[in-house]
Every structure is written in C-alpha cells, then in structure tokens.
C-alpha cells in the first residue's frame, strides 16, 4: 500500500448554512411562522464535503480542491475553512463578478421551515486550472463531484480526460452524465441512472414508477452508451451494484444495517472512501466494500457523517469477521490495521 497519497477533487462547491431557532408564533404580516434566531452554522458542501470526507478518512492524505466561489463573505469562508482543514485551496477560483453557491436552511427542532438558495449566475469551467494541475502535480486519484452547477461541462470534462495521468472517478448528476464515458469509474445513485436513461432514450418527463428496477438491467442499458471500466450504482439502504467491464460481471453489495439518523452525504462518503482506498492501492472490490461500510457508518451521524479509515479496518477485524459474510478469512489476514 502507498504510504501517502495526493487526491484532487474537482466539482461544485456549496456552502450549507443552517439557521436554527424556536418557532412558537405566527406573523401578523403574512400567514407564516416566525423563527426566533438562536444559532447559525456553516458547513462545506458539494465537492467541499468530498474533500472534507477525505481528510477525515486520513488526515495525512493530501487533498487539493478545484472549483469556484464568489468574491463574497461565504467565498472567503470557503477559502479559510479549507485552510483550517489543511486542504489545498490553490485551485479555487474566486470569481469577482459572481456569488458563492449557498443554501440556507431555517430549522426549528427537527423540522426545516424553509430553504433559501443563492445560486451563482454564471458558470466557470476551470479549463486552464485542470491542465495546469494535471501537468504539474502527480495525483494518485482525481474525484469529480458534479452537482450540476456548472464547474464541469463537456469541454472541461474532455480536457480533464485528456490531461489526467491517474484514474478519474465520478459522482455525476444529470447534465453531464453521458460526457463522463471513458473514465475509470462512475457512481450514480438509482435516481441519477434512471433519469439519465430516460432523457437519453425517451427524451420525455421522468416517471420513476415506470422503470425496470433491477440495478443490473439499468447498468446494462447504460453500458450501451457509456464505456467506463467500472459502473457503481448505489441504492440507499439496499446497498449497491457494480459492473466490471473487464469480465462483464455484475456484483451486488448488500447495505449494512445502520441505526439510521441522517442519510445526508452518504453518496459523498462512498465516492471519497472509494477514491481514497483505490489511491492507496486496494483492489476495486475491497475499496467498494470499505465504502459500503463507511457509508453505513456515516448515515448514523446527524448531517454529513465522517468516518476514519483506520476505524473501518479495525471494524472489519472485529464485527464483520465473526459473521464471515463480508470478508473471506484470507482477505482479513491481509488487511493491516
Ligand atoms: N439507511 C441506510 N442504511 C445503511 N446504509 C445506507 C443507508 N442509506 C445509504 N446507505 C449507504 O450509502 C450508500 C449511498 O447511498 P445512496 O444511494 O442514498 O446515495 P446518494 O443518493 O448518492 O446519497 P446523497 O444523498 O449523499 O447524494 C448506499 O449504497 C449504502 O452503502
Ligand atoms: Mg449523491
């Protein structure tokens, strides 16, 4: 296994802002509740959360984040927060004519009353930064965290595929879905692959009930138009299905039962753990098993959960080895804690 790895995360950076308070009165001005302010908290979201996941997995992992923020309070907060977590912010472009992507949730108790979105007005594709970074830094892995806010488009994806000298793994949304063909691994969730297939094949509004629901048949369809070495489709508590193009095989990984608290960010945990484990040198199958365990641990935490990689390895030696379901004895013996 490699001792130290350097991972580049490229994608849409979001600021998740939580305003909490108590709400016991209705307004006289309009038929709406009043929230009495108690606290405000900011969190790194989107691609920022993937970078944060990597740092929690292993604080010695070198992480660079590429994306765009506006020249405003929240943009500066992102730049500072990355520095606090020792995440390289050299490739963050500060756009002085735009705002930072920020989602504000107004919360009382456990209920969200409203969400206010401040979305960037322009798109910026970091084309030069992609080439510069790939030409000058030896990354072990590139993770793309695409939330459809415009950092990635057809041109920047093409430029990335051409300049990258290491594997690229992608967490896609809809707009650029098919442009990622040819990457090492793509990891949509059930909804994303379903929508992508509908837009591709029928070009009409999506009806989620009217779809052949087995994950391998969705991957089979997708694979007709998309050539990547691995396709992984996640499916909430049901786990995930993955396709290996080398031997055209489909495999299922069952979800690991979790004391569910909050599913937010489970997908970010999967892509981060997968990218980290692959960069370290673990096999694809083993890396995916680690990701499955990490994701089930992350949904047990409120908000975006974070997991420590050495904790996962210890856990495998403990709980799961006894059940013998996840790992063969030989595999367990080969894992160093
Ligand atoms: N309730 C759960 N119990 C156990 N594991 C879960 C649960 N929900 C999600 N997971 C794990 O997390 C993985 C990713 O979940 P999911 O398919 O919901 O991702 P996602 O929709 O991309 O999430 P996100 O909301 O972060 O975008 C699953 O494959 C599974 O391993
Ligand atoms: Mg997701």
Q: Which ligand is nearest to the CA of 240?
A: 1
CA dihedral 150, 154, 155, 160 (to 10 degrees): 90
Which residues does ligand 1 sit against, CB inside 6 Å?
189, 234-237, 239-240, 255-256, 258, 260, 263-268, 270, 292, 295-296, 299
Which residue from 56, 75, 126, 113 is spatially nearest to 272, judged by alpha carbons? 56
Q: How far apart are CA 176 and CA 196, in angstroms?
A: 9
Q: Which ligand is nearest to the CA of 259?
A: 1
CA distances, 238 to each of 19, 123, 215, 291, 302 (Å) = 32, 36, 11, 14, 20
Which residue from 330, 333, 320, 304 is spatially nearest to 43, judged by alpha carbons? 304
Position in ligand 1 atom list of the atom nearest CA 260: 1
Tens-binned pLDDT, residue by residue, of the chain (337 aa): 898 999 999 999 999 999 999 999 999 999 999 999 999 999 999 999 999 999 999 999 999 999 999 999 999 999 999 999 999 999 999 999 999 999 999 999 989 999 999 999 888 878 889 999 999 999 999 999 999 999 999 999 999 999 999 999 999 999 999 999 999 999 999 999 999 998 888 755 555 554 546 899 999 999 999 999 999 999 999 999 999 999 999 999 999 888 878 888 999 999 999 999 999 999 999 999 999 999 999 999 888 889 999 999 888 876 665 554 555 555 555 544 3
The H-or-E segment that residue 220 falls in is helix 215-222
Q: C-alpha angle with apex 24: 19 to 26, nearest 5 degrees?
A: 95
Task: Name the pTM for this structure.
Answer: 0.93
Q: Which ligand is nearest to the CA of 232?
A: 1
Q: How far apart are CA 147 and CA 240, in angstroms?
A: 20
DSSP 235: -
- How far apart are the CA of 211 and the centre of ligand 1, in A? 20
- How far apart are the CA of 265 and the centre of ligand 1, in A? 8
Which residue puts its alpha carbon closest to atom 3 of ligand 1? 237
Domains and CATH numbers, the chain: 6-21+41-329 (3.40.1190.20)
């Amino acid at each position: 296994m490699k001792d130290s790895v350097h991972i580049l995360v490229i994608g849409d950076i979001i600021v998740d802002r939580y305003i909490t308070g108590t709400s016991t009165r209705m307004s006289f001005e309009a038929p709406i509740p009043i929230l009495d302010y108690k606290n405000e908290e900011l969190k790194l979201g989107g691609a920022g959360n993937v970078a944060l996941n990597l740092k929690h997995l292993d604080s010695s992992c070198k992480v660079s984040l590429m994306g765009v923020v506006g020249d405003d309070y929240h943009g500066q907060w992102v730049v500072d927060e990355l520095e606090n977590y020792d995440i390289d912010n050299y490739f963050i472009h500060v756009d002085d004519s735009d705002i930072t992507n920020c989602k504000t949730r107004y919360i009382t108790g456990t209920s969200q009353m409203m969400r206010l979105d401040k979305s960037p007005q322009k798109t910026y594709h970091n084309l030069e930064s992609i080439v510069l970074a790939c030409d000058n830094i030896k990354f072990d892995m590139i993770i793309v965290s695409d939330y459809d806010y415009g950092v990635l488009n057809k041109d920047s994806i093409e430029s990335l595929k051409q300049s990258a000298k290491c594997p690229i793994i992608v967490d896609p949304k809809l707009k650029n879905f098919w442009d990622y063909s040819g990457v090492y691994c793509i990891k949509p969730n059930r909804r994303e692959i379903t929508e992508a297939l509908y837009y591709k094949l029928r070009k009409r509004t999506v009806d989620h009930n009217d779809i052949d629901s087995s994950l391998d048949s969705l991957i089979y369809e997708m694979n007709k138009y998309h050539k990547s070495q691995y396709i992984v489709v996640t499916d909430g508590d049901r786990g995930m299905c993955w396709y290996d193009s080398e031997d055209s095989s489909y495999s299922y990984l069952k979800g690991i039962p979790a004391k569910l608290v909050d599913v937010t960010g489970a997908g970010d945990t999967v892509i981060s753990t997968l990218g980290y484990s692959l960069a370290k040198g673990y096999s694809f199958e083993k890396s995916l098993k680690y990701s499955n365990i990490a994701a089930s641990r992350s949904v047990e935490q409120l908000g975006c959960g974070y997991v420590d990689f050495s904790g996962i390895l210890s856990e495998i030696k403990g709980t799961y080895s006894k059940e013998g379901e996840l790992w063969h004895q030989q595999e367990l013996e080969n894992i160093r804690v």
